[in-house]
Chains A and B, each alone.
Chain A
């Protein structure tokens, strides 16, 4: 009888520990997230640069808008700003996401539906995360295609998703020293009127 009660008490303790574990883990994750959010970059998504590629305006706009959506979804950045946003000027730890189109293959949804193997829309871009002083923090070459189902503009969504995924996976330098460096550079440049304001673009 006594043995039974001992076992049941032990089982109850085990069950309680198992039930409490996920909450503990979640709390740990939250505290880790809070720690990381104390030193987080903000990002300003710049207008898409078509480069030498003859890319339709709709595609440029779609890449820009999808990038804003997808980069925001990563939660990697404290704030995501649009190009030219005046609120971004006062943000200390700001990165600029520049996107330059390198290759573009115009596809056709009808061709894809009829042949399956041809008519793919392909995009290849160079994405750069730059600090205020113009220093490139991260450089990525990313592709976005649509091979089978979906409209041609879906390639822009896939591209933005891939850019965001790669940014999420990569490690960025700690924002505070870089920011202090850039502010120091800005104060040093105050004597030089040509380099008075660190360029964002």
Chain B
């Protein structure tokens, strides 16, 4: 009696679990797509903030805002952004303590640790003009996979992209010349 009941129940349970699993993914993606705030490390260049500052980068109406936790926010107008470029970097984790401990590990063990103690991250490079027309460049480090979504949001809100246009022009140039021949 019990076995029969379990046999009937198990497909329903499987179906329910599967539905729940599939339901998780799209909702997560949707939340990632709608959010316009990302945790970043400002590597250098954003006016009014020190190098290697951790904080939140967000889009506020017509401005890009960087806010260090418990500190005043710094904003740059989206219209002043001249270029937004994505990049990818790979770096060793753990900083100086990790480097020292790896160096102290005998029989070259530190090198083996180095093989596994690296992390990939995205970089978001901005070029913008201030009120005097002076060029600024800022580099942000983001968790891998977050930069592309943020960049497209920036472009959608009015930030310019020059490099992609140039690359496209370069890619098209040989085709045009070969056609003309």
| Known contacts A57-B163, A85-B133, A85-B134: A62-B139 contact under CB 8 Å | yes
Q: Counting chain B CB atoms within 10 Å of each CB, which of A81, A82, A152 scores highest?
A: A82
Instruction: Mark out the residues of chain B between 82 and 98 whose CB falls within 8 Å of any chain A CB in the assembled complex.
Output: 83, 85, 87, 89-92
Decide if B115 touches A83 in the complex (CB within 8 Å): no
Q: Binary interface profile of B, 101-145, with partner A (CB < 8 Å = 1, else 0)? A: 010000000110011001000010101011011111111000000
Decide if A109 touches B118 in the complex (CB within 8 Å): yes
- Chain A residue at minimal CB-CB distance from B85: A57
Q: Does B55 reach chain A (CB closer than 8 Å)?
A: no
Decide if A113 touches B129 in the complex (CB within 8 Å): no
B132 CB contact (under 8 Å) in A86, A114, A149, A151? A86
Q: Does B99 reach chain A (CB closer than 8 Å)?
A: yes
Q: For the complex, give the distance between the alpha carbons of A41 and B144 in Å.
A: 44
Decide if A110 touches B115 in the complex (CB within 8 Å): yes
| Known contacts A62-B44, A151-B89: A86-B111 contact under CB 8 Å | no
A151 CB contact (under 8 Å) in B85, B91, B111, B138? B91
Task: Please indicate the chain A residues that have their CB under 8 angstroms from the CB of B90 in the complex.
Answer: 108-110
Task: Count contacts on A: residues with CB < 8 A to the other chain.
Answer: 27
- Report A's interface with B, CB cutoff 8 A: 47, 56-58, 60-62, 64-66, 81-87, 108-110, 113-115, 149, 151-153
Q: 26 interchain pairs (CB within 8 A)?
A: A47-B135, A56-B85, A57-B83, A57-B87, A57-B163, A58-B87, A58-B125, A58-B139, A61-B125, A61-B137, A61-B139, A64-B135, A65-B137, A66-B44, A82-B136, A84-B134, A84-B135, A85-B132, A109-B92, A110-B90, A110-B92, A113-B92, A113-B102, A114-B115, A149-B99, A152-B89
- Report B's interface with A, CB cutoff 8 A: 43-45, 83, 85, 87, 89-92, 99, 102, 110-111, 114-115, 118, 123, 125, 127, 129-130, 132-139, 163
Known A-B contacts: A47-B135, A61-B137, A109-B118. Give 4 more (CB < 8 A).
A62-B45, A64-B137, A86-B132, A110-B115
